[in-house]
Amino acid sequence: MINGKIWLSSPTMHGDEMKYIQEAFDTNWVAPLGPNVTKFEQEMASYIGIKAASATVSGTSALHLAVKLAGVKPGDVVLCSDMTFSATVNPISYENGVQVFIDSETDTWNMDPRALEKGFEKYPQCKCVVCANLYGTPAKLDEIRQICDAHGAILIEDAAESLSATYKGRQTGTFGQYNGISFNGNKIITTSGGGMLLSDNTEAIQKAQFWATQARDPAPWYQHSELGYNYRMSNIVAGIGQGQLGHIEEHKALKKKIYDTYLAGFADIGAISMNPYLPCSQPNHWLSCMTVDPQKSEVRPLQIMEELAKKNIESRPIWKPMHLQPYYAKNDFITLSGGGPSVGDEVFATGLCLPSDIKMTEEEQRTVIDTIREMV
C-alpha cells in the first residue's frame, strides 16, 4: 500500500538504481547516450538472449523504429493484434501504414494464428505483422512466426508487457525479426520511461540508432540525407534500468505469487476464471486479470471496479480492443467466425485487470479477493 492505495502496478525501486545515477552525475554523463546506456543495452541483450539492442525514450519509439526497419510504406497493410494497448499499433500510422486487426484466441487472449491465416488470405500482399503478448502472457509465437515466414512477412513482437516471460523456454522479445520492450512506470521493471528495440540483426539495430540520433550523416556539419528522430535513452534513465534489471527475476516471482493467490482464492467460484496461458509458456504475470461468466453471475466487471475503488483499490477494465476504438473505426477486423461477437469483444465485456502490484501484502490481496467473492 502506497499513499493508502492498492495499485494495479506501480514502480518498485530498490535503492541500488541510485548508484548508477550517482555515477552519471560524478562523471557528468548527463546526456542522451553514455556508459550506462551501452551497459544497459548489453546486459539486456544478454539477459534476453539476442544479439543487439538499442535503448530508446519509450517502448512506443522502439516499436516505431521496428516498423521503419520492417519497411512499412504509406498504404501498406499491417496485420496486428486487436486486443492490446494502442501503442502496439499506433507506430504503423506514423509510417502511414494501414492496420488490419486480427482477433484473439481464448487460450492466451493474444492474436489467433488461424485468424492471422485468414488475414493473409484476404491481404496476400501484407509484408508485416505486429503481435503483442498481452498482460505478460506469450502468444502462440511459433505458429505466428511460421505463418509470417510462409507469407514472407516480417514479424514485430511487442513484448512491452511480457519482458522476462518465456515461451518454450525462450524469452519473449526474440520471436520477431524486430522486437520492442518498455520500461514505462507501470511495467515489470521501469526506468520511469523508456524502451528498447531488440534484434538478432546487428546492422538493422545500427540503422535504427542512426535514425534515433537525428539521422546525422558522417560529415563535419549537421547533414541529413534521411529523416531523423530524437529517440535515444538518456544516461540517467539507463542507470535506473541497470539497477532494475538486477531485480527482474525477483519481480517476476512476486507477480507469479500474486497470480497464483488469485487463482487459489477464486478456485471454488465457478463464475470467475483467471487469464489463461499455455502450458509451454511461463508468463511474467505482469497483470493478473479475471473474467466473470455472465451465464453464472449477474455482476459486471465495472461494478467490481467501482466496489474496489471505494476501498481505495485500483483495478482497470481489459484494454479496449482496437477494432472498437473510435480512431480505428474504419480499419478492417478479421475474426475466425467472420461474424457475431469476437473473442476480443467477449473478453473486454467480461474481464477486469486486478491489482498486481508487487508491494501489495498478502493481507491486502486477501481484501481484494474477499471483496470480489462477496459480489460474484
Residues in contact with ligand PLP by CB under 6 A are 58-60, 84-85, 87-88, 132, 158, 160-161, 182, 184, 195
In degrees, to the nearest 5, what angle opens at C-alpha 34 toward C-alphas 33 and 36? 110
Handedness of CA 307, 349, 346, 351 (dihedral sign): negative
Closest to ligand PLP by CB, 193 or 355: 193
Residue 27 CB, nearest approach to ligand PLP (Å)? 27
Closest to ligand PLP by CB, 202 or 230: 230
- Spatial distance between the Cα atoms of 42 and 48, rounded to a whole number of angstroms: 10
Residue 36 CB, nearest approach to ligand PLP (Å)? 18
Residue 132 CB, nearest approach to ligand PLP (Å)? 5
Residue 81 CB, nearest approach to ligand PLP (Å)? 8
Closest to ligand PLP by CB, 105 or 158: 158
As a dihedral over the C-alpha atoms of residue 371, residue 372, residue 374, residue 376, rounded to 10 degrees, the angle is 170
**DSSP class of residue 271?**
T
Is the distance from CB of 105 to CB of 343 less than 8 angstroms?
Answer: yes
Closest to ligand PLP by CB, 88 or 108: 88
Residue 60 CB, nearest approach to ligand PLP (Å)? 3
- Spatial distance between the Cα atoms of 264 and 328, rounded to a whole number of angstroms: 38
Residues 6+ apart with CB under 8 A from 355: 6, 7, 8, 308, 313, 314, 315, 364, 365, 368
Closest to ligand PLP by CB, 91 or 301: 91
Residue 87 CB, nearest approach to ligand PLP (Å)? 4
- Spatial distance between the Cα atoms of 375 and 313, rounded to a whole number of angstroms: 15
Residue 237 CB, nearest approach to ligand PLP (Å)? 11
Closest residue to ligand PLP: CB criterion: 59
Closest to ligand PLP by CB, 78 or 87: 87
Q: Which has the closest alpha carbon to 103: 340, 372, 360?
A: 340
- Spatial distance between the Cα atoms of 138 and 110, rounded to a whole number of angstroms: 8
Closest to ligand PLP by CB, 237 or 258: 237
